Structure 1
């Protein structure tokens, strides 16, 4: 069977995602489509809008055959690490190709840029380290180093665009693995990644979330089945976790806070002071954000503080060591059966059978279920599903 892979968050699933699924099938000619999906917390350091089981159902109802979870140790990291985990999983699942949406839409610039940056890896690394010593963030240092080495337009690919950046790292990780998958890209249609306006029937997930939290209609921006699934679930945001995060910040010993992953350079004192002075997550973030500490970097840091995840834990998981199955169609089940005996890592369908491997993911799910202001029966349901629910079968 010919399988193609995609990497998703579906926060929430919208018409642009449906287009991506359909184009992936067309370009890859695959009879099985596998999605690696982030769990409770996402790459930009945000809690998922709705739980992973609801997002799995959205995927299965709209053309995905197998949904597996991208572990917390990869899903809450910078683009390089996020991509590393996702492509490794697709490789383990014997996909022949993978496809991502991008602002460029052609695969050739990604391959050419990856080769060019690989050829100048040492020079780039030295420049990035030098610029970071000046007090700027890692992404800004990367951009400045590339401009210094190649000029502002010296690369075939525009690496200032968010989907191009992720796509580049997918291609880079595939190359590091020996290029076992054929990379494909589709042009991202309609609204941009962070655009707050809809472009026809396609709006960014950012815009849809903004509409939802301000009680504005989203009619026509999501497929009907996805919209129906979304309407039945409580919506999560950082503000729901602020009481718990604030408690952790003001009660955690300073030395423990300093040990949390992403907490660096003595920022813990600044975080504690801001937690004492602010009554909302947004105002807290506005106070602690700096040129060096971007909003996204701080959100990821707050996620690790919320889940009490330290540097030693995150740094001990550099390779994918298991695959957690969240859902599948009948086609997907047939594919999993056909490759199961060839898998190099365990395939986990229930928490009980792989709890020692899933420890960090389970902890993240417990914290996700502890959101303030979410109905108690929903919290209990999420915790129960984490431990007892088998993969969804459509």
Structure 2
């Protein structure tokens, strides 16, 4: 079976994602479509507004055959590490192609960028004159859009693999906060949800979004403020992604800020972007230490979240090829398994007890089979 991979978050799933699935199948003529999906926490450094099981289920119902979970430690990092983890999962899953959205839709130009060397010294120089990290990156990368930056990261990651990359035109800008008829970005949909505005026909998840508790990072701010106010700076400095004295900056802002919104506004500077602040705070909340990450073994197992009949057939093929597939929670390598359960505990903390227990039970259960 010919397998094609896509990297997704579906936070939430919307019509643009359905278009991506359709075009991917057209471009690659694949027998099976595999999605690598962020779990309960996403690359923005935030909790997904709906849990991974609901998002995996809707993905299968709308054309994906198999959903693999991107381990937490990759899902909550910047583009290069996010891409490395995603491509590693797809490589283990033996896909031949990957299709991703692109602002330029110019694969050759993106390949040239991926083949170039981006010098850290140049980035630091740009930062020293007041540019934020994304701006400094953009100066070197022709003001690249967020999908193209991710695309370059994917292309770098597949260089030593047998995976062929393809692009499709991004129809709406990733950070666009406006609703556009039936096609809107996930950012715009989340904004509309938080402001209690109608979603129109932009997503098929209206029911799930209206009937389930939606998780937001601001829900955890009292706990975050307590940690920043009481933990010694030395202990905070041991947390993954905490570097360059950012712990002292976060402590100061937590003591000054009564709400999460105020904290973020105060913490973001030319030096520290919103995404970096959120990702750092997420590691603090989950207490993921640098030592924890250092001790993670190389990624050699894929965890299955959901599949259909075609996905099940492909899983049999992978198992015949002796690919390590975790269809049970106990089959996930121990260090990764501990991290996934630990982060699920945080994700469910602010939920009603019934829903919390249900999701924790699901976490250690079997993948979803969707007919």
Instruction: State the TM-score bracket (shorter-chain normalisation).
Output: over 0.9
Instruction: Compute the displacement of 1:124 (Å).
Output: 2.7
C-alpha separation between the residues in 2 aligned to 1:329 and 1:135? 50
Q: What does 1:153-172 correspond to in 2, within 5 Å?
A: 158-172=142-156
Q: Contact 1:53–1:326 (CA<8 Å) still a contact in 2?
A: yes
Q: In the alignment, which residue of structure 2 is the partner of 1:128?
A: 123
The Cα offsets for residues 76-96 of structure 1, whole Å up to 9 and x where unpaired, read as 001000000101111110101
Instruction: Compute the displacement of 1:318 (Å).
Output: 7.7
The Cα offsets for residues 247-283 of structure 1, whole Å up to 9 and x where unpaired, read as 2212222211011112222222222222222221111
Q: Contact 1:132–1:138 (CA<8 Å) still a contact in 2?
A: yes
C-alpha separation between the residues in 1 aligned to 2:322 and 2:221? 41
Instruction: Compute the displacement of 1:159 (Å).
Output: 4.7
Change (3 A) 1:103 1:263: same
Q: In the alignment, which residue of structure 1 is the partner of 2:366?
A: 390
Instruction: Compute the displacement of 1:181 (Å).
Output: 0.9
Q: Contact 1:12–1:55 (CA<8 Å) still a contact in 2?
A: yes
Q: Contact 1:159–1:165 (CA<8 Å) still a contact in 2?
A: no
Q: What does 1:88-99 correspond to in 2, within 5 Å?
A: 88-99=88-99
Instruction: Compute the displacement of 1:132 (Å).
Output: 4.7
The Cα offsets for residues 347-384 of structure 1, whole Å up to 9 and x where unpaired, read as 1122233361411111111111113xx32211121111
Instruction: Compute the displacement of 1:200 (Å).
Output: 2.4
Q: Contact 2:92–2:300 (CA<8 Å) still a contact in 1?
A: no
2:190 aligned with 1:209: yes
C-alpha separation between the residues in 2 aligned to 1:26 and 1:159? 30
The Cα offsets for residues 141-200 of structure 1, whole Å up to 9 and x where unpaired, read as 4334x2xxxxxxxx7xx552001110111111101x24x1110111011x3111111222
Change (3 A) 1:270 1:129: closer
Q: Contact 2:181–2:200 (CA<8 Å) still a contact in 1?
A: no
Q: Contact 1:307–1:364 (CA<8 Å) still a contact in 2?
A: yes
2:240 aligned with 1:264: no
C-alpha separation between the residues in 2 aligned to 1:216 and 1:134? 40
C-alpha separation between the residues in 2 aligned to 1:386 and 1:279? 33
Q: Contact 1:66–1:328 (CA<8 Å) still a contact in 2?
A: yes
2:347 aligned with 1:352: no
Q: In the alignment, which residue of structure 1 is the partner of 2:46?
A: 46
Q: What does 1:126-205 correspond to in 2, within 5 Å?
A: 126-132=121-127, 137-144=132-139, 146=140, 158-175=142-159, 177-178=160-161, 180-189=162-171, 191-205=172-186
Match of 1:221 among 202, 207, 216: 202
Match of 1:380 among 316, 337, 357: 357
Q: In the alignment, which residue of structure 2 is the partner of 1:149?
A: none
Q: Which moved more, 1:291-300 or 1:316-325?
A: 316-325
2:258 is paired with a residue of what secondary structure? Answer: coil
C-alpha separation between the residues in 2 aligned to 1:138 and 1:19? 31
1:259 is paired with a residue of what secondary structure? Answer: coil
2:315 is paired with a residue of what secondary structure? Answer: helix
Instruction: Compute the displacement of 1:316 (Å).
Output: 4.1
Runs (5+) with no aligned partner, structure 2: none
1:34 is paired with a residue of what secondary structure? Answer: strand
Match of 1:334 among 289, 313, 337: 313
TM-score normalised by structure 1 residue count: 0.89
Change (3 A) 1:194 1:130: closer
Number of residues of Structure 1 aligned to a counterpart in Structure 2? 369
Q: Contact 1:73–1:317 (CA<8 Å) still a contact in 2?
A: no
Change (3 A) 1:139 1:215: closer
TM-score normalised by structure 2 residue count: 0.94
2:182 is paired with a residue of what secondary structure? Answer: coil
The Cα offsets for residues 191-247 of structure 1, whole Å up to 9 and x where unpaired, read as 311111122210110110111111111120113xx3333333211111111122122
Q: Which moved more, 1:20-29 or 1:214-223?
A: 214-223
Q: In the alignment, which residue of structure 2 is the partner of 1:294?
A: 273
C-alpha separation between the residues in 2 aligned to 1:214 and 1:125? 40
C-alpha separation between the residues in 2 aligned to 1:337 and 1:306? 38
Change (3 A) 1:134 1:360: farther
CA RMSD of aligned residues (A): 1.9
Runs (5+) with no aligned partner, structure 1: 147-154
C-alpha separation between the residues in 1 aligned to 2:363 and 2:18? 27
